[in-house]
Structure 1
Amino acid sequence: MLSKVLLAAALLLFSGISYSQTAEDLIEQAHQQEKQMKESAALTSFKDALKIQPDNLAALTGASELSAREGYRQKDKEERNRSYSDAKAYAEQAIKLAPENADANYVMAVAMGRAAMVAGAKEKVAASKEVKKYAELALKFNPKYARAWHVLGKWNYEVANMNALERAAAKMLFGGIPEGSLDSAIANYERCRKLDPSFLLNYLELAKAYKEHEEQDKAIEVLRKAVSLRPVFQDDPGIKAECKKMLEDME
């Protein structure tokens, strides 16, 4: 028994986790690192929390969401796919623990949505059905979940913009194209904006939707607001720069 305790202590020591830190301490540390835009460090903290408490829901959902973001930043295809695979695995564990938890369903929608963006036509269409399912479940359990509304908006936007190959895949897999529209995308994005006016990515996607809907004035209004906002997440400075460029091109 003593040898097992010593082994556990040694594993914690060599993993870089302070023996005095609890899973809750590490989760709080991760949240602070996120606020400091140190998401790679925050992801490590969430993973360290899971080494101590593998069934910690907050750590699982945090690790899933940050793995998805990390994958999006990766230039290397294998690294990106590995991060997306990790995001999905953490989300699956979270849903297994708490199937009616809004965060668990949201991170699954995000993980599958990110992976779908780089998949082939058939895989993308098949995954899109699951993205919608989990986003809607997140909203069922928390109707005021701003980022889940954003995911649903992105789903509608992508379905509205399916290419010929993807439409053929949808017909083959489901007998038709899933219901989705630009109008619905805009409504979803606007719902997200109302619930969370600080979420910069939503402004960029909303502006794109308005522009495609030939509502230039509304797109410009959204972009002007976006460039005035303070960055919150690590990717926000880049998103803000993209909004600024889009605004300059439209004015």
Structure 2
Amino acid sequence: MVQMNNASIPYPAISCRRNIVTTFLTALLLMLSQPVDGNTASKSNENSVIDAADQAFKSLHYEKADSLYNVMIQDGKESAALYWKLARLNISVAEAIPPAEREKRMPWYSKAVDYGRKAVQLDDSNASAHTWLAAALALKADRIGAKEKLNRAAEIKRELDRALELNPNDDVAWSMLGSYNFEVSKIGWFNRFMGGTFVGQMPKGSREEAEKNFKKAISLNPRVIRHYHELALLYIEEDRKQEALNALRMAATKPVLMKSDARRLNEIRRLITRLSKELEGK
């Protein structure tokens, strides 16, 4: 017998408890020492590559990100997430190229459209797939002209509506919807120019809706330069100079998250200088 706090515990009880603890520890060690099965190891490696590619993208190392994403494709690890990230990457590369070099931009936009379509094809329920397909279609059409905008308008709007149906908190989709409504508000001139002979339904959109869309995007993600810049351009179009200046000054305080943000910041600073002088002269 063993004395503990004036109580006697038989040796067999102590031995039994020791055996239970020993058995538990042995089982735990065996589980931890078992090799990871092939599927788990493959999935872990796949996630590591995607994580590394995502980090390269966030660090603005676009070439490295592109190489890593394409490693996944070469290994047959296709997914909607992989393709919408490639669409986003190609858009980012195109947008970083100076607007005057249009011919250099177009191949990147075209690849972004292809990747976006592939993402939607693989998973129609992936909100980001629809967002980045819409962005690719819109940006490509914007660089081609009014007729292409009209041809693409219905598809762009459909993709944005689907993206926001799946994820109402997608700030990129709201920002692109703002751009869509702003651009569509300018298309009326095309129909008038054609004498009302344009065949097809004219898309609908207004500056009022565009303003709401941009403000919604800002409320969801106040760190993105594009949201403020595009809102400011709308205000400038409406001769709302003080509001434009306020939006531009806010944009100038935000971090560079894309390479194209550096280009936007240069334009933003020029606009701030111009509007400040115009307002001071009043």
TM-score computed with the length of structure 2 as normaliser: 0.75
1:172 matched residue in structure 2: 198
SS of match in other structure, 2:205: coil
2:9 matched residue in structure 1: none
Q: Counterparts of 1:171 and 1:206 in 2: how far apart (Å)?
A: 32
**Cα distance change, pair 225–97 in 1 and its aligned pair in 2 (3 A):** same
- Superposed CA deviations along residues 12-57 of structure 1, whole A, max 9, x for unmatched, are xxxxxxx9x9332221111111221112321222122222234222
- Superposed CA deviations along residues 107-134 of structure 1, whole A, max 9, x for unmatched, are 1101101110122432221112211111
> 1:157, 1:185 within 8 Å by CA — same for their partners in 2?
yes
Q: Counterparts of 1:66 and 1:173 in 2: how far apart (Å)?
A: 35
SS of match in other structure, 1:22: helix
Is 1:233 aligned with 2:258? yes
> 1:149, 1:188 within 8 Å by CA — same for their partners in 2?
yes
1:130 matched residue in structure 2: 155
SS of match in other structure, 2:114: helix
Q: Find 1:214's aligned residue among 239, 249, 267.
A: 239
2:108 matched residue in structure 1: 83
1:48 matched residue in structure 2: 71
- Superposed CA deviations along residues 141-198 of structure 1, whole A, max 9, x for unmatched, are 00000000000000011111226336667962424x3111111111100000000001
SS of match in other structure, 1:96: helix
Aligned residue pair count: 232
Q: Counterparts of 1:121 and 1:36 in 2: how far apart (Å)?
A: 35
Give the letter aligned to residue 149 of structure 2: K
**Cα distance change, pair 59–213 in 1 and its aligned pair in 2 (3 A):** same
Q: Structure 2 unaligned runs (5+)?
A: 1-41, 277-282
Q: Counterparts of 1:185 and 1:250 in 2: how far apart (Å)?
A: 22
1:145 matched residue in structure 2: 170
**Cα distance change, pair 69–218 in 1 and its aligned pair in 2 (3 A):** same
SS of match in other structure, 2:128: helix
Shift of 1:233: 1.6
2:131 matched residue in structure 1: 106
> 1:50, 1:60 within 8 Å by CA — same for their partners in 2?
no
Q: Counterparts of 1:107 and 1:63 in 2: how far apart (Å)?
A: 9
1:38 matched residue in structure 2: 61
The ranges of structure 1 where at least 4 consecutive aligned residues each deviate by more than 4 angstroms after the TM superposition are 74-79, 166-171
Q: Counterparts of 1:192 and 1:171 in 2: how far apart (Å)?
A: 36
Q: Which of 1 and 2 has greater Rg?
A: 2
Q: CA RMSD in A?
A: 2.3
SS of match in other structure, 1:235: helix
